[in-house]
Amino acid sequence: MNHPKYRPDIDGLRAIAVLSVLGFHAFPAQFKAGFIGVDIFFVISGFLISSIIFENLARGSFSFLEFYGRRIKRIFPALALVLFTSFTFAWFALFADEFEQLGKHMAAGAAFISNFALWQESGYFDNAAETKPLLHLWSLAIEEQFYIFWPLLVWATWKRKWLFITILITLLLVSFGINVYFVRIDRATAFFFPGSRVWELLIGVVLAYFSTQSRETSAKSFRLNQTHKQVLSTLGVLLLAFAFYRIDKTRPYPGTWALLPVLGSFCLIAAGTNAWFNRYVLANRAMVGIGLISYPLYLWHWPLLTFARIVESETPAIKFRVAALLLSVVLAWLTYRFLEKPIRSGSNQRMKITALCMAMAALGTAGYITYIQNGFPQRAAAQASNINTWDNLTFAQTCRFLTLAKEQDDWCNQGNAPDKAPTHVLMGDSVGNGFAPMLQTYAAEQHKAGEHTFVFKQFGRGACPMLLGIGPEHCIELTQAAKTYIDQNKSIHTVILAANWTLYFHGHEWFGHSKIDAQEFQQAFTNTVRHYQSLGKRVIVILAPPIGANPRACVVRPLRLSTENNCILQMQDVLNNSRNYKTPFVAWLNALHVEFFDPERYLCNEMACKVTDGPRILYLDHEHFSEFGGPYLANQAQKDLQLILSPSLK
């Protein structure tokens, strides 16, 4: 199988792509648009792969076996090494839930379906991206999915040029339309779904097609003169420069914004090797050198940065991030020089391909076993967390008993006595759900004292403040169901509103679904309180818990980069994280004659807030209580809870 003539400027463009991604991952505040490097890679991949296919089909020398064999030799060696190294390090460093997640992503990475696995996880309560060492394999998965299906489609339609062109343009436009549609309503889908990304590869395909035609035919319409090439190169530079200047994470991406890096890459590749920028900047020896190791560099850098983030339980110091990037360069060069090049050349090619496939299958199997074995909790690293886990959400239950349907982000709780008529209803988001164990502990203490009149249920969904008339559809649905339930149950005399009020007080946007400003929040809150008061019910508000805890830092890991104690929640950080919501919020409550319960009073002093109670960690993450948080709060505030929850004591 023949390959197109080597172009050093494309390796230089690869260098721009990979360096921008590295900069964004290590220093996101300084390289805000660095993630567009992935879009550049997509265009390059579409161009190069299709150039190989087109030229060999035109010459009658295309072979599926040889094509896929070359892809295996190109993709598998570095990927297998990174997967194996990540798995080995994780065995000795990660907690059970972290290792379980890595096993799942490892299996998905080996099967080239990482984008689907991550898409499935992109719910409200998903782990932060910084704790997923194999997150970056989503882009490789999309490319591999393209490599699998695109050659088959091209082979089936190549001899019918009109059919091929029709399919190519149709797929490109449909994919771009899917991208624009989903970026408005579901950014996770727009980001991970191959249907919304393949247009970027197809832009490269279009260029490969016309480049092939210019070589295979004498048609002058396909040929560019030197002036045209200089203009294209300059335009490509300007488009990329503007993209790096204007795009950041706040933009609806990919969407139409992705046209900037995609078309910029298209122009630079189309300009060819003789345009000034391509020849003297992109084809510069240093840029080409980085481009040659761009694939293993991309694979190595993110696990190194992420593992540093995990073992430090916070963003690593600058010196550690710089060291991770330098180490990734060294590892990338070693991988390229002593693994990739020897495998691609020499004899015994069939045996190499077979061995690579077996290695990838073994790694995928190891990852899957790790996942179904819950991260091997018997490991020393997993046992270091002792009684504390960060996925024990037994107090988060389905809302099916209220809505007759299950929702992904359900955070309801049947309360302390599911078979009895409730006297209290607790409503709010996932943070509000964290107070359900507090009420269960309170109820148990009341029961011990011979008091059996406190019965509660809790309704909530992730990022839903449960206020009348605001939020996306799934929030409004549950809020209305809760309203109907409370209106119809005369036994309920107290409504408790509990949520992460810091999230909504100044206005909030629900992942592109809907948006409210501060005034709309205030109006919805007031309407909700007045509605339940009009029914003769008491309304109580639980203020947001202290925000900003770093609970994983409270467990000493077997492997650490520094000895700094990060298991401290400074009061100043709590005040900063609250965004000055409490004073005006409490003023509203007083004006509405609403009593409130403030968790800070029992968790904080003037200097800091509690994160642990002996060996027990009170938080799941920076804002949600663990299974120990609510009971601790109930024990500390038992008398005050009795005063505020029992109207008979008023």
C-alpha 33/C-alpha 43 separation (Å) is: 17
Specify the 3-state DSSP secondary structure of 123. Answer: coil
The whole-model pTM stands at: 0.88
| Of residues 219 and 113, more confidently modeled | 113
Distances (CA, A) of 565 to 100, 314, 468, 568: 26, 11, 43, 7
Pairing of strands 569-570, 515-517: unpaired
Q: Helices 96-110 and 349-372 sit at what angle, rounded to 10 degrees?
A: 150
C-alpha 458/C-alpha 497 separation (Å) is: 10
Q: What is the side-by-side order of every strand in the sheet holding 456-460? A: 456-460, 424-428, 494-498, 538-542, 595-597
Q: pLDDT band at 215, cuts 50/70/90?
A: low
Q: Which helix (H) or strand (E) holds 597?
A: strand 595-597
Stretch among 53-62, 231-240, 444-453, 505-514 having the lowest mean pLDDT? 505-514
C-alpha 639/C-alpha 643 separation (Å) is: 6
pLDDT by residue (tens digit) across 424-479? Answer: 999 999 999 999 999 999 999 998 888 888 999 999 999 999 999 999 999 999 99
Residue 185's pLDDT is 84
Please compute, for residue 108, the number of CA atoms within 13 A of its CA located in the half-sphere on the CB side: 27
For residues 204-213, give the mean pLDDT.
91
Specify the 3-state DSSP secondary structure of 413. Answer: strand
Contact 623, 431 (CB under 8 A): yes
Specify the 3-state DSSP secondary structure of 348. Answer: coil
Residue 1's pLDDT is 67
Stretch among 201-215, 256-270, 579-593 having the lowest mean pLDDT? 201-215
For residues 630-641, give the mean pLDDT.
96
Type of residue numbered 461? R
In eight-state DSSP terms, residue 279 is: I
Q: pLDDT band at 532, cuts 50/70/90?
A: very high
Residue 127's pLDDT is 58
Mean pLDDT (the chain, rounded)? 93
Contact 449, 639 (CB under 8 A): no
Residue with tokens 């406190």: 454
- DSSP string covering 486-552: HHH-TT--EEEEE--HHHHTTEEE-TTS-EEEHHHHHHHHHHHHHHHHHTT-EEEEEPPPPP---GG
Residue 38's pLDDT is 98
C-alpha 53/C-alpha 46 separation (Å) is: 11
Residue 600's pLDDT is 96
Contact 298, 18 (CB under 8 A): yes
Q: How many residues does the chain have?
A: 650
C-alpha 608/C-alpha 618 separation (Å) is: 14
Q: Which domains does the chain have, with CATH numbers?
A: 8-383 (no CATH), 400-546+580-604+631-649 (3.40.50.1110)
C-alpha 524/C-alpha 516 separation (Å) is: 10
| Of residues 624 and 122, more confidently modeled | 624
pLDDT by residue (tens digit) across 88-119? Answer: 999 999 999 999 999 999 999 999 999 999 99
CB proximity list for 199: less than 8 A, separation 6 or greater? 171, 172, 173, 175, 176, 179
Distances (CA, A) of 625 to 274, 310, 417, 645: 61, 20, 22, 21
Q: pLDDT band at 648, cuts 50/70/90?
A: low
Please name the residue ranges forming H helices in 217-348. 226-246, 259-271, 276-277, 285-292, 294-312, 318-335, 341-344
C-alpha 558/C-alpha 93 separation (Å) is: 6
Contact 401, 419 (CB under 8 A): no
b/e burial code for range 564-576 (CB count within 10 A of at least 16 → b): eeebebebebbee
Specify the 3-state DSSP secondary structure of 95. Answer: coil
In eight-state DSSP terms, residue 555 is: S
CB proximity list for 190: less than 8 A, separation 6 or greater? 178, 179, 182, 183, 196, 253, 254, 255
Percent of the chain residues topping a pLDDT of 90? 82
Contact 33, 250 (CB under 8 A): no
Nearest to 112 by CA among 51, 194, 198, 178: 194
Q: Which two tokens mark 124?
A: 């409200």
C-alpha 401/C-alpha 481 separation (Å) is: 11
| Of residues 129 and 118, more confidently modeled | 118
C-alpha 270/C-alpha 1 separation (Å) is: 24
pLDDT at 509 over 90: no
pLDDT by residue (tens digit) across 262-306? Answer: 999 999 999 999 999 999 999 999 999 999 999 999 999 999 999
C-alpha 102/C-alpha 608 separation (Å) is: 34
C-alpha 499/C-alpha 503 separation (Å) is: 9
Indicate if the alpha-carbon torsion angle 574, 575, 581, 582 is positive or negative. positive
For residues 573-593, give the mean pLDDT.
93
Contact 428, 497 (CB under 8 A): yes
